[in-house]
Amino acid sequence: MPTRSVLPGVVIDQRAWPASGGGFADVFKVIYKGRNVAVKRLRFFAYPPSKEAELDGALCKEAIIWKHLEHPFVLPFMGVCILDPETGFKSTVSPWCDLGNLGRHLAGNKPLDVGKTLLQIAMGIEYLHSQNVVHGDISGNNVLLTDNLDVQICDFGLGKWQETSIVTGGSRATPGTVRYTAPELHRGERPTYASDVYAFACLALEICTRKVPFSGTETMGVASRVCRGDRPPCPEEILDQRLWDLIEECWSHQPDERPSTARVVATIQGWGVYLPECGSVSQE
């Protein structure tokens, strides 16, 4: 890891509780140089001790990729910090987003401009793909919101650690993302641009309905339904047939039948106007 990417003076109060977290890391809200930042620290205790150095190396590789990315709808990379000098393990540092993630915003039934949000997410993913980066974990939890309700895509690549040979020896979908996981990934294949497009379709459905895909199905049963070709039916909340047609194309069963993110962006832009604002949508 380049020395200039290591930020000195980042400290987490040992008594502080994480502001949020997932299956592989905790996120702490920290003040650094007068501004709020997010420090993501791996939960090394959750993995075999023999894998600690490998996980730290994976984080460094991801940070090196992240530091070269710059796009309005991709969360900026600030650097890494070393919270424990004894181990030297790294944690990533990025700007703090007060509004949290998109999934939480949707669950709170707060107003959202559907067209603007979909276009920004698509543009962010298109940029990642143009930089040869497969996100691999697109969901509402990995899209943060700025004060202006602009999106900030985060955790590209980081979420795959739990599904890779570093930890498990194979590939698998985690419970938190299984509802956005393409059928080929359920069969053990690696994430691709096409699987990101599939996940985008699932997230688009969630944005319109305020419900996760297959909301009426237990998580354990989702993978089998997806693999046999089942998809959620068109809901009443879809306010534009063009959007539903795009969703269906994006979650096609065959990866090569899904559009590129560049075409997804061009399609949404081609509609000329944003879709209606998504406000008080029923969660019944």
Are the beta carbons of 166 and 58 closer than 8 angstroms?
Answer: yes
pLDDT of residue 83: 84
pLDDT of residue 206: 94
Exposed, middle or buried, 77 (CB in 10 Å: 0-12/13-18/19+)?
Answer: buried
pLDDT of residue 89: 80
In the chain, where are the structural domains located? 3-95, 102-278
pLDDT of residue 280: 32
pLDDT of residue 171: 41
CATH topology of domain 102-278: Transferase(Phosphotransferase); domain 1 (1.10.510)
Is the CATH number 3.30.70.380 carried by domain 3-95?
no
Task: Quickly tell me which residue has 């039916």 as its tokens.
Answer: 233
Tokens of 65: 């990729």
Tokens of 9: 């003076």
pLDDT of residue 1: 61
Task: Quickly tell me which residue has 């096409």 as its tokens.
Answer: 194
pLDDT of residue 44: 64
Q: What is the pTM of this model?
A: 0.87
Q: Vertex 148, ends 243 and 195: CA angle to 5°?
A: 40
Give the DSSP letter of residue 59: H
The two domains 3-95 and 102-278 share their CATH topology (first three levels equal) = no
Q: CA 138 to CA 159: how far, in whole Å?
A: 9
pLDDT of residue 148: 93
Are the beta carbons of 100 and 144 closer than 8 angstroms?
Answer: yes
Tokens of 102: 């998109």
Digit-by-digit pLDDT tens for the chain (284 residues) are: 667 788 998 888 877 788 887 667 789 999 999 999 999 888 766 566 767 777 777 778 888 889 999 999 999 999 999 887 777 788 899 999 999 999 999 999 899 998 899 999 999 999 999 999 999 999 999 999 999 999 999 987 544 444 443 343 334 445 458 999 999 999 999 999 999 999 999 999 999 899 999 998 998 899 999 999 999 999 887 668 899 999 999 999 999 999 999 999 999 999 875 555 443 333 33
